[in-house]
A and B are shown apart, each in its own frame.
Chain A
Amino acid sequence: MSLEAPLLEQLMHRITECPPEFHFRLYAGPSGHFQTVDPAADVVVPEAILADLILELGGRPLAEEEIAPLRCRKDEDVPKLQIMLLAAWLLHDPWFRAAKRFGTPAYVTLLELGRDLPAHTNAEQIREDPERREEFVRLCLRGLGLVPQGESEEHAEDRLRSVSAVERARIVKETRERLQKARELAEAMRRKEAEEAAARAYRE
């Protein structure tokens, strides 16, 4: 049974207010920590931000082996890192912190978002595109066992499926395969008809 979170619109709005520190262009520095393009900004230590978030959400301090999957060391990890940082900004909302019971599900959700989303979208698109923003908020809420205020569990799940980039990619792939098959079938029929017509003409 899912519990009601704040209004969806409120959380989507929070994403748009994400401070610039969370969306600076990042690159892996020599020490293994991420540097921003802004020389005035501090280096970003993602695992520290994420571990602090888990604590504030009521979780226990993370052990070294739990921190390891949150660690990013290469430039290729930047999209994953930026998505996790955006999720951290969303879940740092006072409502989640006040509940003091989302530490463990938030940890799992961060790992899932970092694993699944970079193949389909990125942090910039999530901030800019309302549909991606809605999907992101819904994924975070589902991870915490919540539904947006005013929605039933079934409605929330239905809506997530309809806005999901992952789901869309699957639909697009399947529809393209279906179209391709239909085209091949039509082409085969056209060829067969032409062959039959040619054979008929030869006989006559």
Chain B
Amino acid sequence: MSPLLRQWAQSWEQARNLWSRFVQLSPPHFCETEEEERREGLAGSFAMIRLTDHAVVISLRLVQQQGLQEFALPILAHEIGHHVYAPGDLVDQARILARIRRALPGLERYAPMVANLYTDLLINDRLHREFKLDMAAVYRKLEEGRKNDSSVLWLLYLRGYELLWNLPRGTLCKSPKEESFQADAGLLTRVIRVYARDWVRGSARFAVLLRPYLEQLPADSVPSWLDALQAGSSELPPAGLAEEEEDEGDAGLHPVEDPRIAGTPFRPPEGASKADSRRPRNPRDYTELMASLGVRLSPEELVARYYREHSSPYLIPFPVREHKRSSDPLPEGLDLWDPGSPLAELDWVESLVRSPVVIPGVTTVERSYGHTEGQRPEKLPLDLYLGIDCSGSMPNPGITFSFPVLAGAVILRSGLRVGAKVQVTLSGEPGRWTSTPGFIRDEATALRVLTGYLGTGYAFGILRLKDTFLDLPPPKRPVHILLITDSDLFAMCRSVEGGWALMGQVLKVAGGGGTVALNAAPNSYTKEVAQLQAMGWKIDYVPTLPDLLSFARHFSSMKYGIKK
């Protein structure tokens, strides 16, 4: 063990005890070679934190290169501060990023850096004032080693420390004497002090104050100590961010317009943004927010997560049908086992007989059973065929909030929860369509298909129903067909040869009934509706798209395909 490593390792406990004896953090990962840094993902700074696994990573190589050997305690205490104070966890990191992004329209790319500078200021001010650590000495050392000229943003940041800690001007940097610069530095210190406890809210004020400095930031200007840029790098987005919080609406307010900072009451100018109540975050904002947090998922996967989160509060008791319970199960054959099914149902022997290379969902099978009729009733869920009109008239769920997709997600997840299998088909025809590979239990795959977008054609293509129910062997369990569409469905029934008859045939084969959630004014298209009703279809008018959510809630109270 090198003397430097020993010295820094020994300072860890002291640094942790500064915050609290009860802080539980694993010791830092000290990297002594570039190879180790690469393995830890450390680049561009001598230290970094990861909120996903609560790690602190220090490059002792760069510490030595920058002459920071003697600052083990302040640097380690600072890194711990990111874990126990600001941002503390992934959700709060995302919350401040959401506010900062909103405060910096057009400059969102700087949000992670601004969040890093802001939390650094909060932590360092506390370390300096409460724990009496000489944080200024670290920055003096960093400034000594700087090769390029400092940006005005960096000067403002350092001048902020001078004011916060009552250091003579010029201690950390040669800041411009312009009155507006000095005024902004004064406001910066007010933001840090006023919002030291409510720091999530203060992040937007900080970002607005920095905006003019970011606009003139040279492309190659990078602060020396950026340790939380990749703090949220993971494959799991934090929950709770699909909705905006109440105060996000006033994120564009300048600190002088904030009574807590200005110290005087202020009436915002007309037209200025006001605080809104909680409302869905725009899906595109959500995916961009997750990307800036470092979540390594594709935009499509993020959109699926977004609707999954929105649907959670609305999950419903899914319709079931009562059967006479079997007294003795009879093995009948093999069905495809997909990764959404319980692992206990996987028939390993038969799967390996089929293929020595196991590919979940492809070569894996489960045994299906028939039953002799018994006396006690058993409740079985209906499988669900969810067909969604994804033509040009429907909104892209990845860009604007889509009620059809939300309603679909609620019903689909409710079904999966009670053991149903689902098939999701998006169709915008004539044009394109996409579907899950048959009836599946894999929620992620089903949601990914549901939240996709086609934007072609004018209606749901009813031939997709034929593909599933008439061209393939009839389903083993009763299936309920749910179509979310508008009145263009009727035009499609007319344009397809034998279209109306097809609608009746598929309903019979499905065996679990069918519902059309029709986006149309109540009691309109009476002739066409009557025709479908005569076949056994249930028609629910949803005059506006938000009504689809109410429809989803009432879905559970309906009885499907039960013969009277």
Chain A residues within CB distance 8 Å of chain B: 131, 151-152, 154-155, 158-159, 161-162, 165, 167-169, 171-172, 174-176, 178-180, 183
Contact = CB atoms under 8 A, between A and B. Distances in A.
Contacts of A158: 168-169
Contacts of A159: 163, 166
Given A131-B193, A162-B163, A172 B169 contact: no
A171 B183 contact: yes
Interface in B43-73: none
Interface of B: 163, 166, 168-169, 180, 182-183, 185-187, 189-190, 193, 254, 256-257, 262-264, 266, 269
Contacts of A161: 182
Contacts of A174: 183
Nearest to B193: A131
A184 to B, nearest CB: 10
Nearest to B168: A155
A44 B266 CA distance: 36
B269 A168 contact: no
A162 B184 CA distance: 10
Contacts, number: 47
B169 A175 contact: no
B168 A176 contact: no
Given A172-B264, A178-B180, A183-B269, 10 more contacts: A158-B169, A162-B163, A165-B263, A168-B186, A169-B263, A169-B264, A171-B186, A172-B256, A175-B187, A179-B256
B186 A176 contact: no
A155 B254 contact: no
Interface of A is mostly: helix
A151 B190 CA distance: 22
A134 B266 CA distance: 25
A152 B168 contact: yes
Contacts of B180: 178
Contacts of A178: 180
Nearest to A175: B256
Contacts of B166: 159
Contacts of A169: 263-264
B137 to A, nearest CB: 17
Contacts of B182: 161-162
Contacts of A131: 193
A90 to B, nearest CB: 19
30 contacts: A131-B193, A151-B168, A154-B168, A154-B169, A155-B168, A155-B169, A158-B168, A159-B163, A161-B182, A162-B182, A162-B189, A165-B263, A168-B186, A168-B190, A171-B186, A171-B256, A172-B256, A172-B262, A172-B263, A174-B183, A175-B183, A175-B187, A175-B254, A175-B256, A176-B256, A176-B257, A176-B266, A179-B256, A180-B269, A183-B269
